[in-house]
C-alpha cells in the first residue's frame, strides 16, 4: 500500500489523490487532532478508483493511533453511529461507501455522541 | 400557543425588558415565550444550564423529566443542583433552583424515567422538546414521538471534550409528508445507533463541565429562537412548503482542546440533509404509530442493544 | 501555584472524578485547579455562568469583584442570582449560589468597583483573571495591570445578539519583551476604544440570555484549560520563547440569529496577531507602570471619554 | 460610482475586483447578515488601485442599510473600535487603509463589544 504522507511522488509510483479528512466526536483521539491532509492512492489494489470504502480501510490500516479499530470499522464497514460527510453533504446522497473520491475532496467522520 | 395580545404585567416588563428590546424579540416575541410550554428531558449536565436560560427568558410552562437523584459527582457540571440537595430527585432540585431565578413560569416535575409507555402522554402537553438525555434508546424514542406529535426537537449531547447540537423537525411537518424540503428527524440524521461497546458515557469517559455547559446553553438559545419566531407551529398550508422552512439543517460540533486556546477548529457547523423519503420514522412509507410504540414496536432497547431493560436518563 | 503532589481527599475524588478521567486533566491537572486562584471581575451576565463552572471544577480560590446590587432586570441572564436576593450585593449573592454548588473553594468577595487605585492590589493575589465587565475603561485597566503583573487574562464581552472571547497575555510574558512570538494584550488587539456615542450597553441595546451565557461558559472553559495545562505560569527561560506558547491568538466571535437555526456563520474564529512591538502597554518602549496607573496615568476615563467619573462594572 | 452588485460587466465599463466582506459585532445589522460577495471598482476616481480606505467609503455609500454612518466611518476613516482583518490577518500588518485590495480578498469588520 502506498505511503499516505506528503512524500514527493516519483513518476513510477502509484498516482495519488490529495484530500482532507476531519474527525470529530472522539474519533479525533483515535486519529490525532486537526485537519488531516492526505495523499491517498488513486486506485485500490484491483485497480478500481478509490472509494470511501477504500478510504475507511486505508485510514484504519495507516492512520490509527489506537489498537481499538472496532471503534471505527466493524466487519469491513464503517461502524454504525458514525456520520460521514463528503464535501459538507451527507454521504447517503453521494452513494455511501461506493462514492469515488475526487482530488480536493473533504471527508468528515463524526462519531455520534449520547452523553448529557 | 401562538401568543395573545394582552399587556405585560409590570413585573414581566421589569424582568424581560433587556431581552424584549433586542430586535426580533419585542413584545410579541416575549408574549410567545410566556404563552409557550417547553419540555426538558434530562436534568443533568445539559438540562441544568438549558433550564436556567429557558426559565430566565420567561417561557410560561417548563416541564422537566428525570428519574435520577442528585449525586455529589454531578455537581461539577450540573449547575442547577447544590450540595444540600444531594439525594433529592433531580427534577425537584432543579425546579427549586429555577423558582429562585424566576417565580413566574409554571414548573411541572416528572420525577421518573421517560419510556415508550409514558412519552406520548407527556410530550403531547408541550410546544417544544429539549433532548438533554444521555442514551441512544431514549433519544430515538423522543424523536419518534416528536415526529408523530408534530413537535420541534432541540437535541444536544456531550461526552468528554466533545459536544453536538442539532435542531430537528422544525418547523414540524406531519409524518409521511415528503413532497418538499422539510426538516429532518433524529433518524434521518442518525440512522443507526452505535454498538454499545463503542459508546462512551460521561461516567466512563468523563466530561469537562463547560463543554456540556456550552451545549446546554446553546440548546436554550435555539429553543428561545424557535418560540420567539413561532417556528414551532406546524405548517398548515403545504402549497407553500418552503416558505417557513429554517435554513439548511445544521449539526453544530464543538471540540474542546485542553492544549490550545480557542482555535479555528473548536466549532464546526456541518450541513445536514433534509427529511429523507425512506426514513423509518418520518418517511413516506413509515409504519411508526403512537399505538405501536406504546405496545412495544419498535423495540428501542433491542435496536440500541441496551443491556438493561429500563430506560435510564 | 503549580500544584503539589498531595493525595486528593475522598470528597474531592467524588466531586471531581468525572472531570479527572478526561484525558489531559488527571490527578495532576485537578491538583493544579485546586491550588489555583482565579479572579472574576464582574458578577453579571458573563460572571455568573463563568463562576458556576469555575467553582464546579474545583478551583481553590475564587475572588469576585462587583460593586452592583442584584436587580430584577438582571435575572433573565445572570443565573447566579435569585429573586429573593434582589438588593443584595452581587458578589454576596453569587457566592451564596457558588457555595451551594461547591463548598470546597475559598470564595473572596470584593463588593466594590475596581479602579486604578485598587486593581493591582487585588489582581496581584490571583493566578488568572477573567474580565466579565461591561465598559471599555475597565477593560483597558484590567489588561494593563495583567501585563504589569504577568497574569493571563480571559476576556469576553456580549451585547444584544453578539459575543466575543479572547485569551490574552497567556502564557504571560514580562512587559517590553518583544524578541519572540508572544501573546498579545488587550491593547495589542484593540488599540483604541470606540467613541461613547457608538457604544451599546446591555441596558440600551438589550441582550439575549443564552448569548452572554455561551460566552461566560466558554470563558470558564478557557480558564480551566489554562490552569490544567499550567499555561498561567510566566515563562522563565526566554531562550526557548516559542515552546510554551499557545496556538495562534484567536478572537472567537459568536452571532446569534433569531431567524435561523445554528448556521455556518454562528461562530467564527479570527486569527489575531501576537504581541506588538509598539504596544502602549506591553511593547518595547512602554512607559506604563503600576505607580503611574495608581497616580492617574494613563487616564482611563479620558481615553474612553466616559461621561461619568466613576468606574462602573 | 460603478455598480457593486454582480451585474455582468461590459468591456467598456470600469473593471471590478471580486471580494468577500463580513461584518460582526453589530455591524451586521448595519449592512445585512452573512457574507457579502461584492464586485468593487478596481480603481478609485483618480485611477489609483482601490485600497481598504476606498472600500470603507464605498461600503458606506453603497451598502449601508442604516443612516447612522458614524457607526462605521468617522472623519473619513473607519471609526475607532472596529477591528479590520484582511485575509484573516490584522490589517496593521498589511498597511491599514493603504492596503491595495486584490481579487479574492476577504475583509472582515468587527465592532468591539464591551457589554457583559
Ligand atoms: Zn426522519
Ligand atoms: Zn500589548
Query: In sequence order, what DSSP letters do the residues of B5-39 get, joined into one string?
Result: -PPPPHHHHHHHHHHHTSTTTHHHHHHHHHT-EEE
Q: Nearest CA of chain C to the CA of D36: how many Å?
A: 12
A70 touches chain B (CB under 8 A): yes
Retrieve residue C259's grid coordinates. Answer: 431567524
Name, of A35-49, B85-99, C233-247, the range with top average pLDDT.
B85-99
Question: Among all chains, which residue has been given the C-alpha cell 457607526?
Answer: D71
**ipTM of the complex, rounded to two decimals:** 0.91
Smallest CA-to-CA distance from B62 within B17, B8, B27, B102 is with B102
Q: How many CA within 13 A on the CB side of residue B313? A: 29
CB atoms within 10 A of CB D69: 14
Chains D and A touch (3+ CB pairs under 8 A): no
pLDDT band, very low/low/confident/very high, at B289 (cuts 50, 70, 90): very high
CATH code of B36-296, in short, is: 3.40.50.720
Q: What pLDDT shows up at residue B101?
A: 95
Q: Which chains does chain D touch, 3 or more C-beta pairs < 8 A?
A: C
Residue ranges of the domains in chain D?
A: 16-111
Contact residues, chain B, for C262 at CB < 8 Å: 165-167, 218, 222, 250, 252, 269
> Do D115 and C255 make contact, defined as CB atoms within 8 angstroms?
no
C272 touches chain B (CB under 8 A): no
Q: Tell me how long chain B is.
A: 313
B224-266 pLDDT, tens digit per residue, is 999 998 888 876 655 554 444 455 789 999 999 887 766 666 8
Question: Among all chains, which residue has been given the C-alpha cell 479620558?
Answer: C302
Contact residues, chain D, for C251 at CB < 8 Å: 83, 110
DSSP characters over D64-90: -SSS-GGGTEETTEEPTTEEEEETTEE
Stronger pLDDT, D90 or C311, i.e. the higher one: D90
Q: How far is the CA of B279 from the centre of ligand 1 (A)?
A: 5
Helix C26-34 and helix C10-20, axial crossing angle in degrees, nearest 10: 120
Q: What pLDDT shows up at residue B241?
A: 46
Helix C209-228 and helix C47-57, axial crossing angle in degrees, nearest 10: 40
Chains A and B touch (3+ CB pairs under 8 A): yes
> Do C246 and B229 make contact, defined as CB atoms within 8 angstroms?
no
Alpha carbon separation from B306 to B197, B203, B309 (Å, rounded): 10, 16, 7
Cα separation, C281 vs C139, in Å, equals 13
Q: What pLDDT shows up at residue B179?
A: 79
Smallest CA-to-CA distance from B193 within C4, A112, C213, A97 is with A112
B121-152 pLDDT, tens digit per residue, is 999 999 999 999 999 999 999 999 999 999 99
H-helix or E-strand spanning residue B253? strand B250-255
Beta-strand relationship, A16-24 and A73-74: unpaired
Q: Which CATH number fits domain C36-303: 3.40.1180.10, 3.40.50.300, 3.30.365.10, 3.40.50.720?
A: 3.40.50.720
Average per-residue pLDDT in chain A? 85
Q: Nearest CA of chain B to the CA of C74: how many Å?
A: 7
Q: Please identify among residues 67-126 of chain B the ones whose CB lies closer than 8 Å to any CB of chain A.
A: none
Q: Which chains does chain B touch, 3 or more C-beta pairs < 8 A?
A: A, C
Q: What pLDDT shows up at residue C312?
A: 34
H-helix or E-strand spanning residue A106? strand A106-111
At the top level of CATH, which class does the domain A16-111 belong to?
alpha beta
pLDDT band, very low/low/confident/very high, at D4 (cuts 50, 70, 90): very low
Cα separation, C259 vs B259, in Å, equals 35
pLDDT at residue B313 is higher than 90: no
> Do C200 and D26 make contact, defined as CB atoms within 8 angstroms?
yes
Contact residues, chain B, for C57 at CB < 8 Å: 76, 209
Contact residues, chain C, for D92 at CB < 8 Å: 273, 276
Report the b/e string of B79-109 with b at 16+ CB within 10 A: bbbbbebeebbbbbbbbbbbbbbbebbebbb
Smallest CA-to-CA distance from A56 within A40, A33, A34 is with A40
Amino acid at each position: 500500500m502506498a505511503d499516505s504522507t506528503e512524500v514527493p511522488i516519483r513518476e513510477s509510483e502509484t498516482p495519488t489523490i490529495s484530500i482532507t479528512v476531519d474527525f470529530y466526536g472522539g474519533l479525533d483521539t483515535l486519529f490525532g487532532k486537526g485537519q488531516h491532509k492526505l495523499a491517498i492512492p488513486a486506485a485500490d489494489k484491483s485497480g478500481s478508483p478509490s472509494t470511501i470504502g477504500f478510504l475507511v480501510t486505508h485510514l484504519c490500516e495507516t492512520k490509527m493511533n489506537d489498537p481499538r479499530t472496532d471503534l471505527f470499522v466493524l466487519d469491513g464497514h464503517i461502524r454504525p453511529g458514525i456520520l460521514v460527510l463528503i464535501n459538507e453533504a451527507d454521504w447517503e446522497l453521494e452513494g455511501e461507501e461506493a462514492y469515488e473520491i475526487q482530488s480536493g475532496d473533504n471527508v468528515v467522520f463524526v462519531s455520534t455522541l449520547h452523553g448529557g | 400557543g401562538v401568543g395573545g395580545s394582552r399587556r405585560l404585567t409590570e413585573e414581566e416588563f421589569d424582568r424581560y425588558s433587556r431581552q424584549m428590546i433586542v430586535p426580533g424579540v419585542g413584545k410579541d416575541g416575549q408574549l410567545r415565550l410566556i404563552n409557550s410550554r417547553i419540555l426538558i428531558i434530562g436534568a443533568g449536565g445539559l438540562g441544568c444550564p438549558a433550564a436556567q436560560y429557558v426559565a430566565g427568558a420567561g417561557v410560561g410552562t417548563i416541564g422537566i423529566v428525570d428519574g435520577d437523584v442528585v449525586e455529589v459527582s454531578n455537581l461539577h457540571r450540573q449547575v442547577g443542583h447544590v450540595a444540600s440537595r444531594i439525594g433529592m430527585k433531580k427534577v425537584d432540585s432543579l425546579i427549586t433552583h429555577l423558582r429562585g431565578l424566576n417565580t413566574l413560569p409554571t414548573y411541572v416535575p416528572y420525577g421518573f424515567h421517560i419510556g415508550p409507555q409514558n412519552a406520548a402522554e407527556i410530550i403531547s402537553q408541550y410546544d417544544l422538546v429539549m433532548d438533554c438525555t444521555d442514551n441512544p434508546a431514549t433519544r430515538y424514542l423522543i424523536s419518534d414521538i416528536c415526529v408523530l406529535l408534530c413537535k420541534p426537537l432541540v437535541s444536544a449531547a456531550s461526552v468528554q471534550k466533545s459536544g453536538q447540537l442539532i435542531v430537528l423537525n422544525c418547523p414540524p411537518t406531519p409524518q409521511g409528508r415528503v413532497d418538499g424540503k422539510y426538516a429532518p428527524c433524529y433518524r434521518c440524521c442518525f440512522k443507526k445507533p452505535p454498538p454499545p461497546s463503542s459508546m462512551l458515557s460521561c461516567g466512563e469517559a468523563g466530561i469537562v463541565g463547560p463543554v456540556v455547559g456550552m451545549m446546554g446553553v446553546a440548546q436554550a438559545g435555539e429553543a428561545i429562537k424557535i418560540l420567539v419566531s413561532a417556528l414551532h407551529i406546524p405548517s398548515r398550508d403545504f402549497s407553500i412548503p418552503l416558505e417557513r422552512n429554517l435554513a439548511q439543517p445544521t449539526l453544530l460540533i464543538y471540540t474542546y482542546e485542553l492544549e490550545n486556546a480557542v482555535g479555528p477548529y473548536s466549532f464546526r457547523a456541518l450541513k445536514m440533509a433534509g427529511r429523507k423519503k425512506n426514513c423509518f420514522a418520518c418517511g413516506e412509507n413509515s409504519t411508526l404509530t403512537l399505538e405501536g410504540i406504546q405496545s412495544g414496536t419498535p423495540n428501542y432497547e433491542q435496536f440500541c442493544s441496551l443491556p438493561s431493560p429500563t430506560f435510564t436518563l
